[in-house]
Amino acid sequence: MAILKSYGACLRDSTFQFPRPSRADNYKSRRNIKWRSPQAAVVPNFHLPMRSLEVKNRTSAEDIKALRLITAIKTPYLPDGRFDLEAYDDLVNMQIENGAEGVIVGGTTGEGQLMSWDEHIMLIGHTVNCFGGSIKVIGNTGSNSTREAIHATEQGFAVGMHAALHINPYYGKTSLEGLVSHFDSVLPMGPTIIYNVPSRTGQDIPPRVVNTVAQSRNLAGIKECVGNDRIEQYTGNGIVVWSGNDDQCHDARWSHGATGVISVTSNLVPGLMRELMFGGKNPSLNAKLLPLIEWLFQEPNPIGLNTALAQLGVVRPVFRLPYVPLPLAKRVEFVNLVKEIGRENFVGEKDVMVLDDEDFALVGRY
C-alpha cells in the first residue's frame, strides 16, 4: 500500500507543466516564449511476479542438473494442423520406456516458434499432467521479448513444469548488460536452463554473461551449441552444461565434462542415445550414429526429424509451414540408414517407408 501511495504522489508531483501566457501578451511576446519539456513521471517498479513460494513438491535446480539425456520432443499434428495429442503421448511414452530423463516441450524441435502462447502453455500443462511423475518436463518459455518471457514462464511454472528453457533475445539483439537483465528477470521463478545457439539467434552468449547469471541458485545449467572448448571452459568452473550438438555430444560427455545432451536424435533412437550418455566411452556406437545425425541436420532442424518420424509411421506426415519434407532421394537415404542401424533401435513398430510426395500435407492455416 505504501508503494501505491508513493506512486500516486509521484504522478501528482509530475503533472505536465506547459507555459500559459496571459491574455495581455501580444502576438510577438507569445511567439518568443520557449517551450519547456514536461517533467516525466517516474513510475516505481512495484510489479510482483506471479510465483508461488511453495517448495514441498517443486523440482530444484539440483534435480535438473542431474539429468543426462533430455529429448527435445517433436510436436505432431492432425491433418488440419492442430496438435495430435495421441501421437504426442505415444512419442513421450517411448522416450520414458527407453530411458530419457527429461523432455523439452515447445523448443525449436517441437516448433514452439509456430505455436500461439495458448497452444504452448497447454502442451506444457498436458505433458506435466500426463507424464510429470515419470519424466522431467522443461518448457521452452523463452522469447526475444522480456515481457513475453516473464509471462510465459509464470504460466509454465503455474501449470507445473519442472524447469524453463530460455534463449537470448534474437533478431532484436541487445547488449551484454541487456542479456544479464533479461535472464535476471526470469531466473527468480524457478530452475532454468539457458540456451546458447548463435546460429539461430545471431548472437553468442559469452562466458562473461553466463558467469554473472550463474550466481543465481536457479540456474540449472547451459545448453551450449558453440562447441566442446566452450563446454570445457564452463565445466572447469563448476557450471553444468548439456551439449546442444548431437554430433559432438559423445566427446562432450566423456572428454569435456558435459553432464549430458539435449538431443534431437533421441526422438528416433532414444535407447542408443541413452547408451551413448550412460555407458562410458563408446566411439564405435558414436561412429554408427554419426551418419544418421548428419542426415538429420542436412537441412535446418526439425525438417529432417519431421520427415523421419513420418517415414517411421509414428506421426502423420503433416507439416506446419514453412517446414516442408525432405525430397524423395533423401527419404530413400533414410530408409537405408534405418536398415543399417537396425529397425529395432528406432521408435515405433511399423516398417519404414519412403512415402510419396503426395502423402505429405502442408498446412499454412491452423
In angstroms, the CA 175 to CA 70 distance is 30
**What one-character DSSP code corresponds to residue 82?**
S
Return the closest-CA partner of residue 240 out of 111, 98, 116, 65: 65
At 319, list the grid cell: 507439416
Residue 204 CA to residue 176 CA, distance in Å, equals 10
Distance CA 210, CA 125 (A): 29
223 part of the active site:
yes
Pick from 149, 94, 156, 154: which is nearest to 126 by CA? Answer: 156
Give dist(CA 326, CA 30) in Å, integer. 72
Q: Omega before 38 cis (within 30°)?
A: no
Q: Cβ(345)–Cβ(272) under 8 Å?
A: yes
The phi and psi torsions of 109 (rounded to 5 degrees) equal -65, -40
The C-alpha cell at 84 is 495430435
Site of grid cell 537483465: 181
Q: Which of 262, 255, 169 is closest to 223 using CA atoms?
A: 262
Catalytic residue from among 74, 88, 136, 223: 223
CA separation for the pair 325, 322 (Å, rounded): 10
The residue from 195, 234, 339, 350 that is catalytic is 195
Query: Given 3-state DSSP classes, what are the helix, strand and coil percentages for the chain, each rounded to the nearest 5?
Result: 45, 10, 45
234 is catalytic: no
Task: Judge whether 147 and 171 are in contact, CB under 8 Å.
Answer: no
3-state SS class at 222: strand
- Residue type present at position 112: G
Catalytic residue positions? 195, 223
